[in-house]
Amino acid sequence: MSNKFYITTPIYYVNDRPHIGHAYTSVATDFIARYMGLNGYDVRFQTGTDEHGLKIQKAAEANGIEPLQLCDKNSQIFRDLTKSLNLSNDDFIRTTEQRHISGASYLWKRLYERNQIYLGEYTGWYSINDETFYNEKDLLKQDDGSFKTLTGGPVEWITEESYFFKLSEWSDKLLNLYKNNPNFISPRSKRNEVIKFVESGLNDLSVSRTSFKWGIKTPNNSAHIMYVWLDALTCYTNGVDYLNDSKNDLREFWGNVVHIVGKDILRHHAVYWPAFLLAADLDLPTKIFAHGWWTNEGKKISKSLGNVIDPIEIINKYGLDQFRYFLLREVPFGNDGDFSKNTLINRINSDLVNDLGNLCQRSLTMIEKKLGSIVPKIINKGNKEKALDQSIDELLVKSNEIINEFKIHIYIKHVWDHIGKVNKYFNDHKPWELEKNDKDKFLNVLAITTEQIKNIAIFIYPIMPQKSEKILNTIGIKKSQISFKEINNINIEGNKLSAVNHLFNRIKL
């Protein structure tokens, strides 16, 4: 079996600046990419920006610049964010790049050749905000007779010549796909919503626009541009060169693909995307995972409410890994979550400063001060020490099951349970007393604790890569050495510690 693993974030619209929601999806995807890397997979991780469509054209007009100028400027801000978040992405795709345009056009041609696209006229509701066509039954009627989307966005009535994709022909095939692959859509509650939606009957989907210009021209008719979702979804295949007839090795990644998305765009990924691929006789992704929605101190995040959270501000104020930890630990992956400064600060002070930071600080400074910074040798392992080894073995097995189901917060909880055990081991043995009356035991307790700190550093790598590397660096291990398979074979005995510094600072409430 191939050990390739390809994971993607959505590509983000460049009409505006990134906010906490974008950061969340990207950090969660980075967690899984790094975890799978530690687990021996050959990982490819793609993110990028979605740059066509009416929403972008209007934003450019509002700024008095050309769409491409706006895209260049804002795409760079999203690219910079990948660095600020320390993402391990291998690719950053833009839909204005030629490789993307070629791929999207290739898919269109395949659909057209297979008689899956026909010319007609679209009359109905459209949301520029979501770039989505809506049936009236899926909208909310306002007191003044107008309609809004479920998230409160405006819709407009449009009538224009349009190509249609024969989505209605694919309902049964899609339902079979969901039935035969129960894990194709996760979590389960979201899967059920998609199934209900498809069961309620699918209309053919308008897949081209003629009333504006900012998009990819359809290959068979230059008066039409592709519907931005048909264009955008192909970014996933285009990043691995799958939508053409090339023999590029990257294409192998299309054999094992996970799309991480927010619940707002699950329908596009779990219905439209597989339908396009099935209709074009192309391979499907393996899984689509939809996570929940963040609010700010209990309120919906929106520009008009002025409560948009800038991830860079949080990072500058509290630290990157503290932010990553909070995002991943606070909310069960898949559920909605609320951002609150107090909760963030409490998490930093209790889980990071007290639990992890103190453990490292207290034990490693003891080695620094009392043993000339040399990690002592393990002399023996009694029941207490063996229990710690067993806890790590169990964690290795459990975490595979947990991450298979994308339960990132449970993984973190288990890692922190282990940190709790190591703290207890250290405290119960009181090495500061042993130093005077039982030197061997003193050395053994420090050796065992350092071995466990090494294990912990490996387990926290997907969550907090910088802090993980900082610990590994302090105890003399290179990042390239770490993997779950080798975790028990990484020897630290006799290593010289580099200067021990605090990992986290306590924050005042």
Q: Please identify which residue in 21, 67, 319, 431 interacts with ligand ME8, judged by CB under 6 A.
A: 21
> Looking at 192-200, 259-267, 344-352, 430-438, which segment touches ligand ME8 (CB under 6 A)?
259-267
Q: Which is nearer to ligand ME8, 265 or 314 (CB)?
A: 265
Q: Please identify which residue in 155, 261, 348, 456 interacts with ligand ME8, judged by CB under 6 A.
A: 261
Q: Please identify which residue in 5, 6, 13, 134 interacts with ligand ME8, judged by CB under 6 A.
A: 13
Q: Please identify which residue in 81, 93, 265, 270 interacts with ligand ME8, judged by CB under 6 A.
A: 265
HEC string for 240-279: CCCCCCCCCHHHHHHHCEEEEEEHHHHHHHHHHHHHHHHH
Interaction between residue 71 and ligand ME8 (CB under 6 A): no
Give 64-70's long-range contacts (Cβ < 8 A, gap of 24+).
67/214, 68/96, 70/14, 70/15
Cis amide linkage into residue 187, ω under 30° from 0: yes
Q: Please identify which residue in 68, 77, 282, 301 interacts with ligand ME8, judged by CB under 6 A.
A: 301
> Looking at 8-16, 101-109, 277-285, 424-432, which segment touches ligand ME8 (CB under 6 A)?
8-16
Interaction between residue 408 and ligand ME8 (CB under 6 A): no
Interaction between residue 366 and ligand ME8 (CB under 6 A): no
Strand (E) positions, 136-256? 140-141, 147-148, 156-165, 185-186, 205-206, 208-209, 217-218, 221-226
Are 497 and 368 within 8 A, CB to CB? yes
Interaction between residue 314 and ligand ME8 (CB under 6 A): no
Number of residues assigned to the chain? 509
Distance of CA 109 to the CA centre of its chain: 31
Q: Which is nearer to ligand ME8, 25 or 349 (CB)?
A: 25
Q: Which is nearer to ligand ME8, 20 or 415 (CB)?
A: 20
Interaction between residue 262 and ligand ME8 (CB under 6 A): yes
Interaction between residue 24 and ligand ME8 (CB under 6 A): yes
d(CA 306, CA 303): 5
Q: Please identify which residue in 32, 185, 233, 360 interacts with ligand ME8, judged by CB under 6 A.
A: 233
Q: Which is nearer to ligand ME8, 264 or 330 (CB)?
A: 264
Distance of CA 342 to the CA centre of its chain: 24
# residues near ligand ME8 by CB under 6 A: 19
d(CA 268, CA 134): 12
Q: Is 456 helix (H, G, I), strand (E, B) or coil?
A: helix
The tokens 């819709």 sit on which residue? 155
Q: Is 286 helix (H, G, I), strand (E, B) or coil?
A: coil
Interaction between residue 104 and ligand ME8 (CB under 6 A): no
- Cβ at position 455, least distance to ligand ME8 in Å: 32
> Looking at 260-268, 358-366, 367-375, 482-490, which segment touches ligand ME8 (CB under 6 A)?
260-268
Interaction between residue 215 and ligand ME8 (CB under 6 A): no
- Cβ at position 153, least distance to ligand ME8 in Å: 11
Residues whose CB falls within 8 Å of the CB of residue 468, separated by 6 or more in sequence, listed in order? 457, 458, 460, 461
Q: Which is nearer to ligand ME8, 20 or 443 (CB)?
A: 20
Q: Which is nearer to ligand ME8, 299 or 502 (CB)?
A: 299
d(CA 266, CA 145): 29
- Cβ at position 398, least distance to ligand ME8 in Å: 27
Q: Which is nearer to ligand ME8, 225 or 500 (CB)?
A: 225
d(CA 341, CA 349): 12
Burial class (CB within 10 angstroms; exposed 0-12, middle 13-18, buried 19+) of 489: exposed
Are 159 and 150 within 8 A, CB to CB? no
Positions that interact with ligand ME8 (CB under 6 A)? 10-13, 21-22, 24-25, 50, 232-233, 235, 261-262, 264-265, 293-294, 301
